A and B are shown apart, each in its own frame.
Chain A
Amino acid sequence: MKILVTVKRVEDPYQAIKVKPDGSGIISDGMNYKPNPFDEIAVEEALRLRDTHQGEVVAVTLGNEKCVAELRQALAMGADRGIHVRHDGPLDSDGVARVLAKIVEQEKPDLILTGKQAIDDDQNQAGQLLAEYLHLGQATFASKKESLESEAEKAKKPGLTLLPGGKAIEVVREVDGGLETLALPLPAVVTCDLRLNLPRYASLPNIMKAKKKEVKELSPAGLGVDMTPKVTTRRFAAPAARKGGVKVPDVATLVEKLRHEAKVIS
């Protein structure tokens, strides 16, 4: 089974994000970056599927020269090789999906795994657009029935099930109020949600081994994709500062305030 998995470089969410004074973006100076957490879940799932069914995991990233670090992390987790599509300008979901579509045409994977969204711009569209452009089946928000404390998770069993014959995959996905099970013919696009697995760490020996793994550099122009964003960002603004809380003397006052001041209960 050949699996293509995406890895986006994003701001580490556990740090204060500050908007530039002119609202043109966020201050990247001194910022820590890491792989998009949902992509880490996608990489983990790809590795488990490969380790169960044999095959190859190809990690792909799109962005500036620094993105190689996130690609290397995927390689250090265990992906077999990497593709870096070098692009220094802004990215929107459409451009990303068109580049990925070209990579899929070249690589011909059986399965494409992506995070359900990138935690920087939270667009949640690249996977869906990719499936559309390639006319492939898609399952979004892949999850699983077993909990993250279950024995299956401890044994690092894949959450996605390859159906007998190896021509289709079963995906449990999160929907409002429950789980839905889909079967998709391969190749297919699956976007991964939080409860699919707990990603492994990149161990130090594997970080060293990843140094020697192949990373191919491509460019959107070379792939024939025009990256001019269809979506442009007009302005960034920080959320309003949180007002300090108040202490109430008793439950009755709390209920009173929730009803009349906050108007969240009636």
Chain B
Amino acid sequence: MTKTPIGIDLFRVDDLLSEEQRLARRATAEFVDRRFLPVVQRHFRAGTFPMDLVPEMGALGLFGANLHGYGCAGMDKTAYGLVMQELERGDSGLRSFASVQGALAMFPIYTYGTEGQKRRFLPKMARGELIGCFGLTEPDHGSDPGGMTTTARRDGAGFLLNGTKLWITNGTIADVAVVWAKTEGGGAGSIRGFLVERGTPGFSSREIEGKVSLRASVTAELSFQDVRLPEDAILPEARGLSAPLSCLTQARYGIAWGATGAAIACFAAARDYSIERTQFGRPLAGFQITQEKLAEVYSEIVKAQLLNLRLGQLADRGEATFLHVSVAKRNNVRAALAAARTCREILGANGIIDDYPIIRHLVNLETVYTYEGTHDIHTLILGEALTGMSAFGG
């Protein structure tokens, strides 16, 4: 006997959500379905981000949605997570855009900036009128950002910035870059954050060509040659490596939810396909091997949903630490990547074509697995917490 396939929300996570959390997810989901999904294939092929959607995203309140005041929506962390989930159900590039804008550019200004900096930048960034980027990674310092060589030396009333940042999302389209650099002393404790505006002499950016992953997103190299920054370019409250790491914790939180969205998109496509496609006189969905694959992917999604929900509850109580976020990012991205691979198999040759969303999510998730702390780095974070021994090397 044939039964109705069950929905994605087996454990009724939805029942545990508040009205505004559901509405936030619904509003984002409709935007993604109506406005983004029809154009994603074109942008992924062209290697571009749909910039024409940015004002709409701003009007919807998708940027810095969890921040309060300054034109931000002031949503709770769970609603914010659901927004990220729905954006990444569209594409990791779309979620990356919102993560960089909200968690990596607006958040440091909001947390470490002066009142003047907040008023000047945040409302326009919330509306999408100003685009931000976050420059931490360097050509020679990725997983180990404390080793960075970019410097900001005192220069009269301001600073002189020198160095190179690599792999910077939105780098060439940003109006303001949050750049992390070492100041006097040169140790990790001397790391400070600076707001560098587009057009500042000595600041240039170049787009990275040849990406096979996260193509519907702009990635760039930023270079700073004797860039003179005024005194008010520094984020006064950001001191030491912990400041940029706190931004990463924000973004990683969104990734834990977002990756689940990507997995949901892959699962939905694979299940539909398996029910429609017939081989050997039977739908693919009727073979035990296919069912084993779907069951595996589905179980991982359900687990990730519960993990995210609990993470959101802890975050809303102010009790989520970087460790909770690391475990969730590590688990959910790995699960999503494995899910995407399995789902791709189910589509056979159609699985490698971008007419279906799966291969796009699959290659995107390779980036998501690597950025914001690689899978290995989160393993080491967890490992250190479990054993009391740091295995980071050095």
Interface residues of A (CB under 8 A from B): 15-16, 18, 27, 30, 34, 68-69, 72-73, 76, 201-208, 210-211
Are B20 and A16 in touch, CB under 8 angstroms?
Answer: no
- In the complex, which residue of chain A has the Cβ closest to the Cβ of B74? A208
**B60 on interface, CB distance cutoff 8 Å:** yes
Most buried by B among A15, A27, A201, A206: A201
Which residues of chain B have C-beta atoms less than 8 A from A30's C-beta?
6-7, 9
Residue B62 at the chain A interface, CB threshold 8 Å? yes
CB-CB under 8 A for A204 and B30, given A30-B9, A69-B22, A73-B23: no
Whether A201 and B30, one on each chain, are in contact in the complex, defined by CB atoms closer than 8 angstroms, is yes
Cβ contact within 8 Å between B20 and A68: no
- Is B61 in contact with chain A by the CB < 8 A criterion? yes
Candidate in A72, A204, A210, A211 with the most chain B CB atoms within 10 angstroms: A204
Do residues B19 and A68 form an inter-chain contact, with CB atoms below 8 A? Answer: yes
Measured in the bound complex, the distance between the Cα atoms of B62 and A205 in whole Å is 9
Number of cross-chain contacts by CB at 8 Å: 62
- Judged by a CB distance under 8 angstroms, whether B31 is at the interface is yes
B24 at the interface (CB under 8 A from A): yes
Q: Which 6 A-B pairs have the closest CB atoms?
A: A204-B61, A204-B73, A30-B7, A205-B73, A18-B4, A205-B61
**Chain A residue nearest to B64 in the complex (CB):** A204
Q: Name A204's contact: one of B4, B22, B75 (CB within 8 Å).
A: B75
Flag if A205 contacts B74 (CB, 8 Å): yes
Contact (Cβ within 8 A) B59 A203: yes
Among A16, A34, A76, A205, find the residue whose CB has the most chain B CB atoms closer than 10 A.
Answer: A205
Q: CA–CA, A30 to B9, complex, Å? A: 7
Question: In angstroms, how far is the closest chain B Cβ from the Cβ of A246?
Answer: 15
Range for the number of chain B residues in contact with chain A? 20 to 34
Whether A69 and B23, one on each chain, are in contact in the complex, defined by CB atoms closer than 8 angstroms, is yes
Give the interface centre of A18, A203, A205, A207 by most chain B CB atoms within 10 Å. Answer: A207
Pairs A–B under 8 Å by Cβ, sample size 19: A18-B4, A34-B26, A69-B19, A69-B23, A76-B27, A201-B27, A201-B31, A202-B27, A203-B27, A204-B24, A204-B62, A204-B75, A205-B71, A206-B61, A207-B20, A207-B24, A207-B27, A208-B73, A208-B74
B301 near A: Cβ within 8 Å?
no
Q: Hey, which chain B residues are within 8 Å of A202, CB to CB? A: 23, 26-27
With A16-B4, A73-B26 in contact, do A211 and B20 touch (Cβ < 8 Å)?
yes
Chain B residues with Cβ below 8 Å from A73 are 23, 26
B122 within 8 A of A: no
B23 near A72 (CB under 8 angstroms)? Answer: yes
Instruction: Say which residue of B4, B23, B30, B59 sits within 8 Å of A76 (CB atoms).
Output: B23
Q: How far is the CB of B265 from chain A (nearest CB, A)?
A: 15
Instruction: Please encode chain B, from 41 to 66, with 1 for each CB lying within 8 Å of some chain A CB and 0 for all others.
Output: 00000000000000000011110010
Q: Which residue of B lies closest to A202 (CB)?
A: B27
Question: Chain B 1-27, CB within 8 Å of chain A: the 1/0 string?
Answer: 000111101000000000110111011
The CA of A95 and the CA of B107, in the complex, are separated in Å by 51
Give chain A nearest CB distance to B122 CB in angstroms: 13
A72 to B31 alpha-carbon distance, docked (Å): 18
Instruction: Point out the residues of chain B lying under 8 angstroms from A18, CB to CB.
Output: 4
- Across-interface contacts of A206 in B (CB, < 8 A): 61
* Interfacial chain A residues near B5, Cβ < 8 Å: 16
Is residue B83 within 8 Å, beta carbon to beta carbon, of the partner chain?
Answer: yes
